[in-house]
Amino acid sequence: MRRVVSAILPHIVLIVFCSIILVPLLWLLRVALTNKLQAYQIPPEWSIPHIRNFVEIFTVHPFSDYFLNSVTVAIGSTLVALPLAALMAYSFARYNTGGLPLRLVTLSSQMLPPVILVLPLFNLFLKTSLLNTLPGLIIAHVTISLPFLAWLLVSFFEGDIILLEQAARIDGATRLQAILHVTLPVAAPGMLAAGLLSFILSWNEFLFALILGGAQASTLPVGLSSFQTHRGVEIALLSAAAICAVLPVFFLLPFMRRHLIRGLSLGALK
Amino acid sequence: MLKRLFLVVTVFLLIGGLVQAESIRLLMESVPDTRYIQELLPQFKAETGIDVDMEVISYIDMHSKLVPQLISPKGSYDAIVVDFYWVGEFTKAGWLMPLDDLVKRDNFDTGVYVPKLIELVGRVDNNLYMLPFYNYSMAIIYRKDMLEDPKEQAAFKAKYDMDLEIPKTWDEYWKQVEFFSRDTNNDGKTDMFGTVIQGQRGDCISMQWSNYLYALGGQYNDSNWNPTLNSAAGVAALTAYREALQKFSPPGSESYCFDEGFNVLAQGKAFSLQTFNIMFAGFEDPESSKVVGKVAITPNPGGGLNGAWGWAIPKSSPNKEAAWKFLKWVESYEIAKKRALLGGAPTQTKIFVDPDVVAARSYYPILGEILAGAQQFPVFTYTTQLVEEMGRELNLAATGEKDIKEALDASAEAFRKLLIKDGKLSK
């Protein structure tokens, strides 16, 4: 009897917690497959699901543009931020560049509310014609992710990995060879985790995208918010759009699970 | 050789720049009227050769998107739309270009607009800053099938000694609200509601309660800007509002806003709702409403709250002349009428009674009537702050957490302080 209880009890607890997380997502899916009338019906009325909302967001509303813009900006900003962050982190870890003050200063942009950063950026972008362009948004998102990534990566370049690097140097490798063939492969899970985080940061970012973007450079979060209209929330369309917006991150989850946890929790050596 | 190549390239680029089609950028809100204008844009391009690049975002994001654009000497929007909330702020800050000279030069007739809209989103201190774009005045949307039911009519007559018909006075409306609030399945709980309160703090409660205030003969201020909302009429209005929340409106409606109110009526669970006229189309859409063909709209007794958006050309506009061309085109009778035929919210007096428009949408004359009787919310630099502060007090009073008179006094005091800050009142 005790064995049965101890086998079932954890599952009950797990099912309860999983439901807390999953039910809202499943409800979102249900609303996406119905219309506004049924979405708000209490008690809920079940009908044959349809994909009209999904069709509408991609035909009537420029959702494919938002999607493409989001993918471009998220990948673009990650490709720019990650190498820079790795170099910064390496420099902090090996040469203690600028000491603790510089490390803190790097973080200072993260300490301010983003709205304070966005106004000067707006002025700069206006003067350089970067407003309402994808390169502009990529630069803006790099300013958000770079300090964060650099701090995250410092821990991967510190610690016992130095010993490996020194061993490589003793074996005759140049510093660059040591970095390329020893440090980077060992720090790869960390790099990947940082890259994924950078992607998600950019994917979800709203304020910069709203103010610095425009008709040509609107990303998904800005597109999603446009379903909240003066005539009320277009709940069915919004749900369909939200499902589409969640999908890429959803597919990244397996990678995340494998690398992020490892990346965040361990140093380098096994 | 290289020099020559450079020269050729430069000349090409210059010519390219010159012959490039003229274009303007607009920032618009995601409302149906915006979509109707988008549909008509090819006609503007054909007539003028000007491309229109329209950026559409939601209401809540508009202010934060606009302000950085407006404070810089040269922004990227040629024309914008301005909600009446922001009129005081934008004009006082000097962000909008007065249109008087252009109107005079091109003999543009501003007499076509409903005068109340020119007051609200047109003229400020004798300067014309905006052209009224669309209106969203508030009115009563009610279930005409319930009102026309002979059985209900007989029961109403027996109970109140009064005919059940389209409410013309507050007393009539209030009796109907009470009459139709009932327990239809006998479980001891009201499940059909006479009205729906939108009691969420801020915008939602301030806008809806204004209708109660006007209906009971109150005003926000006198002609010298002295706050009067805490008058006896104000107290009566808030008392009625509290009663409605407690007895005639669904549980939880102290945190409802426009969307929730819409849904209660659209699900067939209420008799009436005081809301924006632009919501009406939603009740006629089977995708969002169970009561298609069963609702009608009528003016709020004493006038409903007026709301509107206006077209403006910001001082930071890079191409003011082309923007003006667009404004003249979009506000021409022809385009305004086409927009109304598609279901838009007109601002010109004649559109409401245009035979083609009425043939397509029979309720437009009533919309005109609603607009003609609509009342104006105080428009000054700190309108938004007033809405926030008063909205909090109203909510506290409606839910019974604060005394009604105290809440109104606090609102009037907050209003007075904002008016002093704005220079409309002296200390």
Residue B279 C-beta-side C-alpha neighbours within 13 Å: 30
Residues in chain B: 427
Cα A41 off chain centre by? 34
Min distance B405 CA to chain A CA atoms (Å): 32
Burial class from Cβ neighbours inside 10 Å (0-12, 13-18, 19+) for residue A30 reads: middle
Min distance B311 CA to chain A CA atoms (Å): 17
Min distance B203 CA to chain A CA atoms (Å): 12
Give the DSSP letter of residue B376: P
Interface check for A87 against chain B (CB to CB < 8 A): the answer is no
Pair B312, B129: CB distance under 8 Å: yes
pTM here? 0.82
What phi-psi label fits residue B29: left (phi over 0), alpha (psi between -120 and 50 degrees) or beta?
beta
Residue of B31, B55, B269 to mutate when probing chain A, most A C-beta within 10 A: B55
Pair A231, B31: CB distance under 8 Å: yes
Closest Cα in chain B to A228: B58
Residue with tokens 């471009």: A72
Pair B351, B337: CB distance under 8 Å: yes
Number of neighbours of residue B117 by Cβ within 10 angstroms = 29
Question: Strands B51-57 and B79-83, how do they pair?
Answer: unpaired
Asked whether the predicted pLDDT for residue A268 surpasses 70, the reply is no
Closest CA to B55 of B77, B88, B33: B77
CA-CA distance, B408 to B402, in Å (whole number)? 10
pLDDT band at A263 (very low <50, low <70, confident <90, very high): low
Pair B226, B220: CB distance under 8 Å: no
pLDDT band at A163 (very low <50, low <70, confident <90, very high): confident
Closest Cα in chain B to A126: B75
Q: What average pLDDT does the segment A18-37 reach?
A: 90
The alpha helices in A99-226, defined as continuous H runs, are 99-111, 114-127, 134-157, 161-170, 175-178, 184-204, 207-212, 220-225
Pick from B59, B68, B263: which is nearest to A122 by CB? B68
Residue of B36, B54, B58, B59 to mutate when probing chain A, most A C-beta within 10 A: B58
Residue of B30, B31, B204, B257 to mutate when probing chain A, most A C-beta within 10 A: B30
CA-CA distance, B300 to B212, in Å (whole number)? 9
Query: What's residue A269's pLDDT?
Result: 46
Q: Three-class SS of residue A101?
A: helix
According to CATH, the superfamily of the domain at B22-129+308-372 is: Periplasmic binding protein-like II (3.40.190.10)
- CA dihedral sign, ordered A163, A169, A175, A181: negative
CA-CA distance, B373 to B215, in Å (whole number)? 11
Q: Three-class SS of residue B93?
A: coil
The alpha helices in B280-425, defined as continuous H runs, are 280-283, 320-330, 333-342, 355-360, 364-372, 383-398, 404-422
The alpha helices in B49-128, defined as continuous H runs, are 59-71, 84-92, 100-105, 115-121
Question: Strands B23-29 and B51-57, how do they pair?
Answer: parallel
Does this chain's domain B22-129+308-372 share its CATH topology with B138-305+379-422?
yes
Inter-chain CB proximity B59 and A228 less than 8 Å: yes
Q: What is the C-alpha R_g of chain B?
A: 24
Inter-chain CB proximity B54 and A215 less than 8 Å: yes
pLDDT band at A270 (very low <50, low <70, confident <90, very high): very low
Inter-chain CB proximity B281 and A231 less than 8 Å: yes
CA-CA distance, B209 to B203, in Å (whole number)? 10
- CA dihedral sign, ordered B305, B309, B312, B317: positive
Residue of A45, A52, A231, A237 to mutate when probing chain B, most B C-beta within 10 A: A231
pLDDT band at A11 (very low <50, low <70, confident <90, very high): very high
Q: Which of A114-128, A137-151, B146-160, B245-259 has the lowest mean pLDDT?
A: A114-128
Query: What's residue B8's pLDDT?
Result: 56
Q: What average pLDDT does the segment A13-32 reach?
A: 92
Inter-chain CB proximity B56 and A226 less than 8 Å: yes
Q: Which of A122-126, A171-175, B13-17 has the lowest mean pLDDT?
A: B13-17
Q: What is the CATH code for A53-265? A: 1.10.3720.10
Question: Strands B127-128 and B123-124, how do they pair?
Answer: antiparallel
What is the value of ipTM here, to two decimals?
A: 0.75
Pair B416, B225: CB distance under 8 Å: no
Pair B232, B163: CB distance under 8 Å: no
Query: What residues of chain A lie within 8 A of the CB of B278, using their CB?
Result: 230-231
Interface check for A133 against chain B (CB to CB < 8 A): the answer is no
- Domain ranges, ordered by start, for chain B: 22-129+308-372, 138-305+379-422
Closest CA to B353 of B344, B362, B35, B345: B362
Asked whether the predicted pLDDT for residue A98 surpasses 90, the reply is no
Q: Look up residue A165 and give its two tokens.
A: 């690097």
Per-residue confidence in pLDDT tens, chain B, 427 aa: 556 655 555 555 555 444 457 899 999 988 888 989 999 999 999 999 999 998 888 888 888 889 988 988 888 899 999 999 899 899 999 999 999 999 999 999 999 999 999 999 999 989 999 999 999 999 999 999 999 999 999 999 999 999 999 999 999 999 999 999 999 988 888 999 999 999 999 889 999 999 999 999 999 999 999 999 999 999 999 999 999 999 999 999 999 999 899 999 999 999 999 999 988 988 988 988 999 999 999 999 999 999 999 999 999 999 999 999 999 999 999 999 999 998 889 999 999 999 999 999 889 999 999 999 999 999 899 999 999 999 999 999 999 999 999 999 999 999 999 999 999 998 7
B241 CB-near residues (< 8 Å, 6+ apart): B197, B209, B212, B394, B398
Interface check for B289 against chain A (CB to CB < 8 A): the answer is yes
- Domain ranges, ordered by start, for chain A: 53-265
Q: In the CATH hierarchy, which fold is given to the domain comprising B138-305+379-422?
A: D-Maltodextrin-Binding Protein; domain 2 (3.40.190)
Q: Which residue has the higher pLDDT, A66 or B31?
A: A66
Q: Look up residue B142 and give its two tokens.
A: 């009610």
Phi and psi for A267 in degrees, rounded to 5? Answer: -75, -125
Closest CA to B82 of B307, B304, B372: B307
Pick from A37, A210, A231: which is nearest to B65 by CB? A210
